[in-house]
């Protein structure tokens, strides 16, 4: 296709036709790349959830601190049980946000038709799931650190290796966020998504905070299936005088593998829910 400029017509002579770009030559707009899409979704979700961050942090943090106060009456200071209580309470903050609230969010998003909006955007499905999961997990950092510090002081545990939380929070957060997103996307109704999120957080509370050696054998097997268990174990091991860093890295590696698997399931659940 071509056009003739108006100036040429006014001068009385024809000009060379000026070619216009053709859609057939260039095709449609290219699909957005994964990392820029992930960053855009993350920023959008972070600004959206920022309104409720103060109540969210207050509830999640004080819930875990209250549990440690209750356990202080039955658990001695400085022992293995105290390590399990403090590590489990710290990771419980992550579970409250990444598992419980994310399940509710995706359940409501699916029921309200919000997935149709994301389905029309040229972004990979994984960026939507990871962006929302990362935004919700980001709010757990202050509460997790405060819980770990308060618990360490309460149970006479060292503060030397609290830097391990820099690995525990994102890895446990990814595993729990993937599970929460999958529950919310697969639930047929938002009420059921809320219920599943609450049950998941209750499992993280009972199986993560209570010392493993006080649990029956069959409950220990259920504890091994919980994604956050390996983050709790990795953090609890660092309270020892001489932590076995090889075992800590192994626990973190298992937590990372579970996180990748749970986020993959959440991405599949998102694609399944978006096409319905």
pLDDT surpassing 50 at residue 7: no
Predicted pLDDT at 60? 81
Question: How far is the CA of 243 from the CAs of 148, 216, 253, in angstroms?
Answer: 17, 26, 16
What CA–CA distance (Å, rounded) separates 33 from 189? 32
What CA–CA distance (Å, rounded) separates 48 from 44? 6
pLDDT surpassing 70 at residue 261: yes
What CA–CA distance (Å, rounded) separates 227 from 259? 7
What CA–CA distance (Å, rounded) separates 110 from 164? 36
**Beta bridge partner(s), residue 3:** 18
What CA–CA distance (Å, rounded) separates 118 from 232? 34
| pTM, rounded to two decimals | 0.80
For tokens 């006479």, what's the residue?
Answer: 156
126-145 as b/e: b if 16+ CB within 10 A: bbbbbbbbbbbbbbbbebbb
Quick one: what percent of the chain has pLDDT higher than 90? 15
pLDDT band at 62 (very low <50, low <70, confident <90, very high): confident
Residue predicted with more confidence, 112 or 181: 181
pLDDT surpassing 50 at residue 223: yes
pLDDT surpassing 80 at residue 47: no
Q: Which two tokens stand for residue 69?
A: 């106060």
């Amino acid at each position: 296709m071509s056009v003739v400029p108006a100036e040429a017509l006014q001068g009385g002579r024809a000009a060379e036709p000026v070619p216009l770009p053709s859609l057939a030559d260039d095709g449609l707009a290219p699909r957005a790349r994964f990392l820029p899409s992930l960053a855009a979704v993350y920023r959008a979700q972070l600004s959206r959830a920022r309104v409720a961050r103060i109540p969210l942090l207050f509830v999640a943090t004080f819930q875990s601190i209250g549990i440690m106060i209750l356990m202080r009456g039955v658990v001695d200071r400085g022992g293995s049980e105290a390590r399990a209580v403090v590590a489990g309470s710290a990771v419980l903050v992550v579970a409250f946000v990444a598992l419980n609230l994310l399940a509710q969010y995706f359940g409501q998003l699916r029921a309200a038709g919000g997935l149709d909006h994301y389905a029309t955007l040229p972004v990979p499905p994984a960026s939507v799931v990871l962006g929302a999961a990362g935004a919700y997990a980001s709010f757990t950092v202050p509460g997790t650190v405060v819980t770990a510090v308060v618990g360490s002081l309460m149970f006479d545990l060292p503060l030397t290796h609290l830097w391990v939380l820099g690995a525990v929070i994102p890895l446990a957060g990814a595993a729990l966020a993937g599970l929460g997103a999958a529950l919310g996307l697969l639930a047929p109704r938002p009420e059921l998504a809320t219920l599943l999120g609450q049950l998941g957080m209750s499992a993280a509370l009972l199986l993560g905070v209570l010392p493993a050696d006080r649990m029956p054998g069959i409950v220990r097997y259920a504890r091994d299936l919980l994604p956050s268990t390996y983050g709790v174990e990795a953090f609890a091991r660092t309270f020892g005088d001489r932590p076995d860093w090889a075992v800590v890295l192994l626990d973190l590696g298992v937590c990372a593998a579970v996180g990748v698997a749970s986020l993959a399931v959440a991405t599949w659940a998102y694609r399944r829910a978006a096409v319905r």
